[in-house]
């Protein structure tokens, strides 16, 4: 499988504290990765480093084989930020307009959206089953519906990989289940690589191919080839008292 993201000997921190120390991680085409760990363990920081929002103190990041500082094919990458649905509910933008915002680098900031661009928008909304809401104001939708719209915005450029930072925060249980089914579809049917920061350890451990556990500046990868039981991996990150409870309802 093609390596689409490669992190080697990565260090990141601030003057008084190092957050990530000697991190190594390869993400392959088709991966479905969950990043878990306690608050402050650097989960969101790691994503922002892979998006070039933050710069490492030391180390190397490559995207699709290119050094991240020379990489310019950002339409290959989609991003749904943490709490992206927490915005002014009176913001006067329709669902169609919100998704189209991600096309402005191609269209031009002050140029009109063409029919060909609208077709891309409608196709993205169709994938997330939100096409019939295209004329609704984004503030009038439920949290789960809004999150689908933001995924459509990430999909409109046909990305190879999508990053999601705590995407289920503030979404009810029923909407969360539908949301995870959508991610399964994107990964299995559309072959999109998914990298997601989450606290839903019990949920993702039953769905995700590879789990990246972060804590104390370190990173442990758990997948089907891991020799250490998952509960032991979690205890190594969260502490010996951590337990995993699996339940279905």
245 inside domain: no
Containing structural domain, residue 9? 3-238
Q: What is the pLDDT of residue 29?
A: 95
- CA-atom Rg of the chain in angstroms: 19
246 inside domain: no
Q: What is the pLDDT of residue 65?
A: 95
Say how many domains are in the chain: 1
Q: What is the pLDDT of residue 222?
A: 80
Better pLDDT: 50 or 88: 50
DSSP codes joined into one string, 89-154: TT---BHHHHHHGGGHHHH-TTSPPPHHHHHHHHHHHHHTT-GGGTTSBGGGS-HHHHHHHHHHHH
243 inside domain: no
- Facing residues of 220 across strands? 213
User: Is-contact 210 222, C-beta < 8 A?
Assistant: yes
> Per mean pLDDT, which range of 2-16, 36-50, 98-112, 164-178 is the poorest?
98-112
> Per mean pLDDT, which range of 2-16, 46-60, 97-111, 182-196 is the poorest?
97-111
Rounded to an integer, what distance in angstroms lies between the CA atom of residue 204 and that of residue 207? 5
Is residue 136 over pLDDT 90?
yes
Rounded to an integer, what distance in angstroms lies between the CA atom of residue 120 and that of residue 126? 10
Q: Angle formed by the axes of helices 115-127 and 143-155, to 10°?
A: 130
- Using CA atoms, how far residue 75 sits from 112, 120, 138, 218, in Å, is 20, 13, 23, 30
- The model's confidence at residue 249, banded by pLDDT at 50, 70 and 90, is very low
Determine how many CB atoms are found less than 10 A away from the CB of residue 92.
9
Assign residue 221 the CATH number of its domain. 3.40.50.300
46 inside domain: yes
244 inside domain: no
Rounded to an integer, what distance in angstroms lies between the CA atom of residue 182 and that of residue 154? 13
CA of residue 174 relative to chain centroid, distance? 20
Rounded to an integer, what distance in angstroms lies between the CA atom of residue 13 and that of residue 19? 5
141 inside domain: yes
Q: What is the pLDDT of residue 173?
A: 80
CA of residue 61 relative to chain centroid, distance? 17
User: Is-contact 27 5, C-beta < 8 A?
Assistant: yes
Is residue 161 over pLDDT 60?
yes
Rounded to an integer, what distance in angstroms lies between the CA atom of residue 230 and that of residue 215? 15
Q: What is the pLDDT of residue 51?
A: 96
- The model's confidence at residue 242, banded by pLDDT at 50, 70 and 90, is low
Rounded to an integer, what distance in angstroms lies between the CA atom of residue 61 and that of residue 50? 7
As a whole number, mean pLDDT of residues 60-79 equals 95
Is residue 84 over pLDDT 80?
no
Is residue 246 over pLDDT 60?
no
Rounded to an integer, what distance in angstroms lies between the CA atom of residue 128 and that of residue 92? 22
Is residue 236 over pLDDT 80?
no
91 inside domain: yes
Rounded to an integer, what distance in angstroms lies between the CA atom of residue 83 and that of residue 115? 31
Is residue 12 over pLDDT 90?
yes
189 inside domain: yes
168-209 pLDDT per residue, tens: 877 778 888 888 889 999 999 999 999 999 877 766 777 777
């Amino acid at each position: 499988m093609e390596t689409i993201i490669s992190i080697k000997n990565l260090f990141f921190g601030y003057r008084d504290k190092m957050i990530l120390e000697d991190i190594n991680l390869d993400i392959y085409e088709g991966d479905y990765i969950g990043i878990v760990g306690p608050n402050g363990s650097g989960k969101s920081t790691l994503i922002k480093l892979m998006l070039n929002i933050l710069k490492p103190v030391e180390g190397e990041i490559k995207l699709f084989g290119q050094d991240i500082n020379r990489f310019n094919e950002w339409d290959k990458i989609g991003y749904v930020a943490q709490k992206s649905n927490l915005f002014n509910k009176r913001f006067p933008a329709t669902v169609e307009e919100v998704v189209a915002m991600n096309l402005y680098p191609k269209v031009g900031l002050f140029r009109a959206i063409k029919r060909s661009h609208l077709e891309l928008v409608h196709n993205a909304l169709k994938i997330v089953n939100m096409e019939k809401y295209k004329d609704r104001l984004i503030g009038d939708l439920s949290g789960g519906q809004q999150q689908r719209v933001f995924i459509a915005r990430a999909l409109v450029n046909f990305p190879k990989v999508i990053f999601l930072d705590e995407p289920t925060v503030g979404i009810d249980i029923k909407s969360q289940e539908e949301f995870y089914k959508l991610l399964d579809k994107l990964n299995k049917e559309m072959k999109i690589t998914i990298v997601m920061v989450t606290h839903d350890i019990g949920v993702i451990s039953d769905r995700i191919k590879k789990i990246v556990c972060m804590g104390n500046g370190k990173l442990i990868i758990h997948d089907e080839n891991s020799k250490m039981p998952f509960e032991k991996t979690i205890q190594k990150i969260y502490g010996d008292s951590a337990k995993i409870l699996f339940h279905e309802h």
